[in-house]
Structure 1
């Protein structure tokens, strides 16, 4: 089977067989991918996974979503798109990021295929999300945006190159794309191996690294402005115990480890900021 990213056929190995899917590994570009990734029905996958239990989990940990993700991601907007304007988030979940971006001065629009998530965002944040995945029909109706955010969505997209080119069409020239994905080379993945919770998720169709992301964007109109990994401190203790058998980490040791992992590109997620090239 050819790699869907670099098209190599000589460097593909079986990474692991799980109960309902297989992961293949491309040694040439460091992409992990499910064998049937390109044929997954996104809408069916959303309805199966993002159910009432998922909503209850999101509500229980809303404070962490704000603290660990929405706050940081809103700061990225200020750093790379301080002029503000129209912002589209694809895969808005329960709406915490858009809630903060709106109050930071952005004119926000959100797409979220889970009807339960849309209801939650309206009830809690008065956000009227559009209940759908991104389609050609919808894209033709939307006006161009100054910025688009897709936090932890790209790993679920069956055809990422086509998707990113569709996203580019929705951006103004010189507009900014923000996205994050789980890091293939993270401390969690190297500690747990093939049984990492990131690898066993059936809806994680692709697993990207800092090597494969630039290769992916080569097939799009985007130029990378920032690419880095980030590690959350509150995840470290459990992982550290798994890898080294230690009972606990002191605060100073935990923060040193977090900094070390980010410095080595082993944080839990990859964050990318890319600008749409002006071809005129």
Structure 2
């Protein structure tokens, strides 16, 4: 666990949250004031079992429910935006590592646009779906040796990582000298998080072990001499997370209410900059 023990020190109560996806168990979400982040307690020993659900959509290409269809439509729009973002970087060899690659759609888009791709995905089911698209994924980041990448992406992945400080150190080693690290995570300081409180879908306990603020990302990566260069909002997330939160609240998605809360969240974030999810672009310090 190493430095991660520090993240569990001097915790104060914040919320009690329920696992709505798999177990219906209750977990504590605690505040670590030193890092300005929230921590899920306890971490289940059999954490992988908490991803085994048809409702865990990023490991499938499901289009069964209305929520699935919304997710897939938004995914297709965001894939184009993600590609545009990485294409904006001046890279020497156009090689990219996607960590938590899911079913491989992002890497497929990159590959189709002249990127050399490599990905990591722990879920065997998701890796098998990716392989059918011609994207071969590694199970674990420790399998990647003797290579550095111009771009490394973690789209809603860092919150799932068990050995957080060790993982950040590994990412730093895998990033080339002038490379860009892209981290997208939910933001518990957003209006939709404040509105929905313990039923905010992006808490997603116990799969989300950490809940980050802008301060915590900056502090965590500065310990590896990495600097946040830019922060970009993910404006779709407030709508999708609100849809899911409404479903947890009443059993129905309530699209009109969800859209309203998502809209208000983005409107308030115009001035606070606290959007539902944020993309952090990081680089190595001098």
1:145 aligns with 149
Answer yes or no: is 1:26 the counterpart of 2:36. Answer: no
Distance 1:178 1:105 in 2: 19
* Structure 1 unaligned blocks of 5 or more: none
In the TM superposition, residue 46 of structure 1 has moved relative to its aligned partner by 3.5
Partner residue of 2:167 out of 163, 168, 173 = 163
Distance 2:261 2:217 in 1: 31
TM-score by length of 1: 0.79
Partner SS, residue 267 of structure 1: coil
Range with bigger deviation, 222-231 or 87-96 = 222-231
Partner SS, residue 113 of structure 1: coil
Size of the alignment, in residue pairs?
Answer: 261
Distance 2:56 2:8 in 1: 37
Conserved 8 A contact 1:230-1:262: no
Partner residue of 2:122 out of 104, 110, 113 = 113
1:95-106 aligned at under 5 Å gives the runs: 95-106=104-115
In the TM superposition, residue 262 of structure 1 has moved relative to its aligned partner by 4.3
Pair 184,5 (structure 1): closer, same or farther in 2 beyond 3 Å:
farther
In the TM superposition, residue 184 of structure 1 has moved relative to its aligned partner by 1.0
In the TM superposition, residue 84 of structure 1 has moved relative to its aligned partner by 5.5
Partner residue of 1:181 out of 181, 185, 199 = 185
Conserved 8 A contact 2:96-2:116: yes
- Alpha-carbon RMSD across the aligned residues, in angstroms, is 3.3
Distance 2:241 2:8 in 1: 35
Distance 1:94 1:262 in 2: 33
Partner residue of 2:74 out of 52, 55, 64 = 64
Distance 1:253 1:218 in 2: 34
Conserved 8 A contact 1:92-1:112: yes
Conserved 8 A contact 1:13-1:24: yes
Q: Deviations over 1:82-119 (max 9, x none)?
A: 55511111110011111111122210001111111111
Conserved 8 A contact 1:87-1:148: yes
2:280 aligns with 272
1:185-196 aligned at under 5 Å gives the runs: 185-196=189-200
In the TM superposition, residue 178 of structure 1 has moved relative to its aligned partner by 0.7
Distance 1:223 1:77 in 2: 18
Distance 1:7 1:157 in 2: 13
Conserved 8 A contact 2:36-2:215: yes
Answer yes or no: is 1:80 the counterpart of 2:89. Answer: yes
Conserved 8 A contact 1:5-1:215: no
Pair 75,36 (structure 1): closer, same or farther in 2 beyond 3 Å:
same
